[in-house]
Chains A and B, each alone.
Chain A
């Protein structure tokens, strides 16, 4: 297994456009997480899936954000009507259980111009 994969690595978009990111977790991991990291800060939790069920969402996840994990495998994170404040690194992680160390992907860096 090659770890957690995220695509694309970089995305530049104009304000107001929609963007979608993809995450492929480690295949045997049933838990999947999305985090957002802005410059000079630590990652902040966005949402959590156990298999295909989205069990937890942060207040950071506004109505413009939606995440899915169909069939409990890969996940997508969509941002509608992007704003400059959405510019950040979006990190995906997966794990085997609660309290275990996550395996993070390399992230998708979003720049909204």
Chain B
């Protein structure tokens, strides 16, 4: 069975602080994709990143960076110099290769205080 755990239910940081959102996943499959989505108060889920299970290279996109470690089954997300606009619920998700459904974690609500 597949499972995604986001242990941090809510995080609050002061603007310009760095913050890391944790994601731990479980699967017996060796090939899969991992995703992060942002859900602002408006409700739509915004795609942030997709990683393949065979590509452990970390990725940086502006203030966002992702650390993928298969050894610990983790796919953590760091926001550098957080801004108020980063306030949202962030979801980590897993999709098996050949499957058509995403398994989502329960999300982490990030509040950035000005």
Q: Taking beta carbons and an 8 Å cutoff, which residues of A are in contact with B?
A: 31, 33, 35, 40-45, 48, 55-56, 58, 89, 91, 93, 98-107, 109
Contacts and interface: CB of A to CB of B under 8 A. Distances in A.
A102 B93 CA distance: 11
B44 A41 contact: no
A101 B47 contact: yes
A16 B43 CA distance: 26
Contacts of A99: 33, 50, 52, 95, 97
A106 B43 CA distance: 5
A42 B50 contact: no
A40 B104 CA distance: 12
Interface in B74-105: 91, 93, 95, 97-105
A43 B102 contact: yes
- Closest 3 pairs (CB-CB, A-B): A42-B104, A45-B101, A101-B47
A42 B43 contact: no
Contacts of B61: none
A42 B105 contact: yes
B101 A102 contact: no
Interface of B: 4, 33, 35, 37, 42-47, 49-50, 52, 91, 93, 95, 97-107
B45 A104 contact: yes
Given A42-B105, A101-B35, A33 B43 contact: no
A7 B58 CA distance: 38
Nearest to B6: A42
Given A100-B50, A101-B35, A45 B44 contact: no
Contacts of A103: 47
